[in-house]
Amino acid sequence: MSTASSEFKIQARRLTADLHHRQVIQTALGKYEVVRDKTKGAFQDWSAARQAAAEIKWEAINHLDKYLPQFVERLEARGTKVHWASTGTQAREIILAILEQKKAKCIVKSKAMTSEEIHLNEALARAGYEVVESDLGEFIVQLRQEAPYHIVFPAMHLARGEISEVFTRELGSAPTQNPEDLTLIARRVLRQKYLAADVGFTGANFAVAETGMISITENEGNARLTAALPKTMVTLLGLEKILPRLEDLALFLPMLSTMGTGQPLTCYNSLYSGPRQLGEPDGPEEYHVILLDNRRTELLADAEQRDALHCIRCGACLNVCPIFRNVGGHTYGTTYSGPIGSVLTPHLRGLQEWKHLSYASSLCGACTETCPVKINLHHHLLHNRRNAARQRPALGEKLAFRIFALVMNHPRVYGLAAKAGRWLQKLHPLVKGGRLDPARAWTQTRELPPVASQTFKEYWRARQPGQ
Amino acid sequence: MKVTLFIPCFVDLMFPKVGISIVQILERLGHSIECPRQITCCGQPAYNSGYWDEARGVARKVLQSLEAAEVVVIASGSCGAMLKVFYPELFTGTAQADAALRLAGKVYEFSDFLVTKLGITELGARFEAKVTFHDGCHGLRELGTYDQPRKLLGKVRGLTLVEMQEKTCCGFGGTFAAKFPMISTAMGEVRCAVAKATGAEYIVSNDSSCLMHLQGLLDRQRSPLKTIHLAEVLAQS
């Protein structure tokens, strides 16, 4: 068992036993579902919208060779410096080089899961820079020295009291349970940081190839300030963020917010196309865009699972996933959690080390049903399982399934096994639930039904003496 | 019609009444039934665990045994999904690819067979109870079976159907229940709580595997809420 796998099990055991956590998450996501459904209802034809979105992403991902150069060319034409990073290490080096060149001290960041993916904050802190997250949820988890709990709602696991507590401890503010007061405390701190920052760092929700623009979706206005106030702006994005045309945003912006938060549109949607142009009164003097691969092109080469690159990071699959809802976001130990994380992480960070996430699913398919870009999520979990078992079979398990196949293929042996089971289950109460119980994983929390006194096959044979 | 009945292994071993009820219902409707002796299991446990070669070993036998069948009725949405949805993928690029597609075209989950293929909803059943219906995920999302069981229950005399708040998984998930028992149990507890909130006396489902999981938890909780398969409800008169 990999380290990540045993850690996952330990955390899953802890969180599934935490009934308060279960209550908080179920309630929050229950509310989300109500609002999401109402907003979805405003679409004339949701299933047609999903189909269109899936086709547009298919077009973009299958023609990255055309759209990426187009995107870069348009961005560069307006004076943006574009960088290509094959790995997380390269991306960090590029960013550190920019900061050094700018003699920066303080960096203000808006929400970017790609920066979590490359562990940017840790690298910047190690190099002596001050980094401040400006998204309220990210700001809170940064103060708590935690990873985001959810790709859209980083602090959804925290109650007001816990937020007040960390503000009091880290910022010296007076304790309060009032959400407005809490927001104002964060705002007071952050406004100073926007002014002090030398570099503003953002992620991207979409990258429009046609016009060479970055699209950022947000609710707090923090990304706008991050992009507008510091003299230098840096955007890090995965190369799958591409959309072919500007008009595609007419579908994707409402779709992202509908599935992300249940809003018809988020409060702010901004497009960035380069540094301040001649005659423009504001904007950054210098703009850097870093396109991150980090094994995305390996996934691109996998025709079976390529559609996982369609993901727009709306978080909808996490919200409906009964696994996520019971184990919570941190248990995964990954940047991307929930069903999309379980599909992607084995590709981004190694199949054998992360295959357990693909097994930790009942394959219920709620994720695939909800995904706005129609990624075949739960079938990809099956594909990951197959690839993992093919590449490195667990010998005991393989043997068990060989025996299983043998028994199932020989009805006589199967019949004998049924009889043996019926006899052996009389002894089961002696070991039930204990260390010697072969069915312990089941019987610790559940009763096991007995093998029937007459199986269906026995009934059928008794009825048909000729057979 | 000559109906070939596929009784999956765990139904055969632990829930024979489900199979017997299906036989009674179909015979009452005037169909003749055969149950191929050599079929035991669809191979899903191996398939879901990633051991596709071993799964193919079992599935190949199923394909052969059902080659001549006119129509196949299967007593589980999950095993039905295995035959209808996953066999074609399992056999893609093999000599059995066509056979898998042919089989997929003639397999029906039990409630789907009655409502879609036969066009029957009224079976003259009587079941005096308030019940709620649990959709097995494979039946619901792989096969799209949602209305069929509800139409059948709607015609049962004395029965009141109350819907649960959410359509979530019971947490069974095959080998998942043993590999991650803590998650599986938590999911089942959530599901039981949602079912209890309806005030129903029974959870009815067209999938015995979900019911096995829910009943296992309810028994441990000493809850009076009971589970029963759709076929057993429909066979009562």
Q: Do residues A284 and A420 share a domain?
A: no
Say whether A360 and B183 touch across the interface (CB within 8 A).
yes
Residues 6+ apart with CB under 8 A from A421: A451, B13
Say whether A12 and B54 touch across the interface (CB within 8 A).
no
Mutate to test the interface with B, among A26, A319, A376, A408 (most CBs of B within 10 A): A408
- Chain Cα centroid distance, residue A216: 18
- Structural domain contains residue A168: yes
Nearest to A402 among B45, B54, B173 (CB): B54
The pLDDT of residue A413 is 95
Q: Does A405 touch chain B (CB under 8 A)?
A: yes
Q: Does A451 touch chain B (CB under 8 A)?
A: yes
Nearest to B46 among A327, A360, A401 (CB): A401
The answer to whether the CB of A421 falls within 8 A of the CB of B13 is yes
Mutate to test the interface with A, among B3, B4, B6, B9 (most CBs of A within 10 A): B9
Delimit the domains of chain B by residue range. Answer: 2-116, 122-234
In chain B, residues 1-40 whose CB comes closer than 8 Å to chain A: 7, 9, 11-16, 18-20, 23, 35, 37-38, 40
pLDDT digits 0-9 by tens, A175-188 = 999 999 999 999 99
The pLDDT of residue A73 is 98
Say whether B169 and A22 touch across the interface (CB within 8 A).
no
The Cα of A250 is separated from the nearest Cα of chain B by a number of Å equal to 29
pLDDT above 60: residue A129 = yes
Q: Is the dihedral of CA B89, B90, B93, B96 positive or negative?
A: negative
- Structural domain contains residue A31: no
Say whether B181 and A360 touch across the interface (CB within 8 A).
no
Q: Does B185 touch chain A (CB under 8 A)?
A: yes
CATH number of the CATH domain containing A130: 3.40.50.10420
Q: Does A22 touch chain B (CB under 8 A)?
A: yes
ipTM of the complex: 0.97
- What confidence tier does A1 reach under pLDDT thresholds 50, 70, 90? confident
pLDDT above 70: residue A398 = yes
The pLDDT of residue A465 is 64
pLDDT digits 0-9 by tens, A326-382 = 999 999 999 999 999 999 999 999 999 999 999 999 999 999 999 999 999 999 999
Residues 6+ apart with CB under 8 A from A465: none
Nearest residue of chain A to residue B177 (CA atoms): A442
**Based on the structure, what is the number of domains in chain A?**
2
Higher pLDDT, B93 or B237: B93
Q: Do residues A144 and A268 share a domain?
A: yes
pLDDT digits 0-9 by tens, A148-169 = 999 999 999 999 999 999 999 9
Q: How far apart are CA B171 and CA B213, in angstroms?
A: 8
Say whether A366 and B169 touch across the interface (CB within 8 A).
yes
The pLDDT of residue A181 is 96
The Cα of B204 is separated from the nearest Cα of chain A by a number of Å equal to 17
- What confidence tier does B166 reach under pLDDT thresholds 50, 70, 90? confident
> What are residue A131's DSSP bridge partners?
A107
Percent pLDDT > 90 in chain B is 98
Alpha-carbon distances of A247 from A31, A56, A209, rounded to whole Å: 31, 11, 11
Q: What is the CA radius of gyration of chain B?
A: 17
Q: How far apart are CA A364 and CA A361, in angstroms?
A: 8
Alpha-carbon distances of A65 from A240, A288, B68, rounded to whole Å: 12, 21, 49
Q: How far apart are CA B235 and CA B237, in angstroms?
A: 6
Mutate to test the interface with A, among B24, B47, B54, B134 (most CBs of A within 10 A): B54
In chain B, residues 137-156 whose CB comes closer than 8 Å to chain A: 137-138, 140-142
Residues 6+ apart with CB under 8 A from A45: none
Nearest to B45 among A366, A404, A442 (CB): A404
The angle that helices A19-40 and B181-196 make with each other, rounded to 10 degrees, is 60
Provide φ and ψ at B204, rounded to 5°. Answer: -105, 145
The Cα of A456 is separated from the nearest Cα of chain B by a number of Å equal to 5
The Cα of B18 is separated from the nearest Cα of chain A by a number of Å equal to 9
Say whether A447 and B181 touch across the interface (CB within 8 A).
no
Say whether A411 and B185 touch across the interface (CB within 8 A).
no
Q: Does A16 touch chain B (CB under 8 A)?
A: yes
In chain B, residues 41-70 whose CB comes closer than 8 Å to chain A: 41, 43, 45-52, 54-55, 57-58, 61
Domain containing A422 equals 407-463
pLDDT above 60: residue A466 = no
Contacts of A457 in chain B (CB under 8 A): 7, 12, 35, 37
> What are residue A237's DSSP bridge partners?
A291
- Structural domain contains residue A302: no
Mutate to test the interface with B, among A401, A422, A428, A440 (most CBs of B within 10 A): A401
Q: How far apart are CA B84 and CA B41, in angstroms?
A: 14
Look over chain A and give the mean of its residue pLDDT values, rounded to a whole number: 96
- What confidence tier does A390 reach under pLDDT thresholds 50, 70, 90? very high
Give me the CATH code for the B122-234 domain, please: 3.40.50
- Structural domain contains residue A224: yes
Nearest to A455 among B13, B37, B186 (CB): B13
The pLDDT of residue A464 is 78
Nearest to B220 among A446, A450, A452 (CB): A446
pLDDT digits 0-9 by tens, B33-54 = 999 999 999 999 999 999 999 9
The Cα of A311 is separated from the nearest Cα of chain B by a number of Å equal to 21
Instruction: Characterise A262 by phi-psi region: left (phi > 0), alpha (psi -120 to 50), beta (else).
Output: left
Contacts of A342 in chain B (CB under 8 A): none
- Chain Cα centroid distance, residue A38: 24
Say whether B173 and A447 touch across the interface (CB within 8 A).
no
The Cα of A373 is separated from the nearest Cα of chain B by a number of Å equal to 17
pLDDT digits 0-9 by tens, A189-203 = 999 999 999 999 999
SS3 sequence of chain A: CCHHHHHHHHHHHHHHCCHHHHHHHHHHHHHHHHHHHHHHCCCCCHHHHHHHHHHHHHHHHHCHHHHHHHHHHHHHHCCCEEEEECCHHHHHHHHHHHHHHCCCCEEEECCCHHHHHCCHHHHHHHCCCEEEECCHHHHHHHHCCCCCCCCCCCCCCCCHHHHHHHHHHHHCCCCCCCHHHHHHHHHHHHHHHHHHCCEEEECCCEEECCCCEEEEEECCCHHHHHHHCCCEEEEEEEHHHEECCHHHHHHHHHHHHHHHCCCCCCCEEEEECCCCCCCCCCCCCEEEEEEECCCHHHHHCCCCCHHHHHCCCCCHHHHHCHHHHHHCCHHHCCCCCHHHHHHHHHHHHCHHHHCHHHHCCCCCCHHHHHCCCCCCHHHHHHHHHHHHHHHCCCHHHHHHHHHHHHHHHCHHHHHHHHHHHHHHCCCHHHHCCCCCCCCHHHHCCCCCCCCCCCCHHHHHHHHCCCC
Contacts of B146 in chain A (CB under 8 A): none
Q: Does A21 touch chain B (CB under 8 A)?
A: no
The answer to whether the CB of B152 falls within 8 A of the CB of B230 is yes
User: How many residues comprise chain B?
Assistant: 237
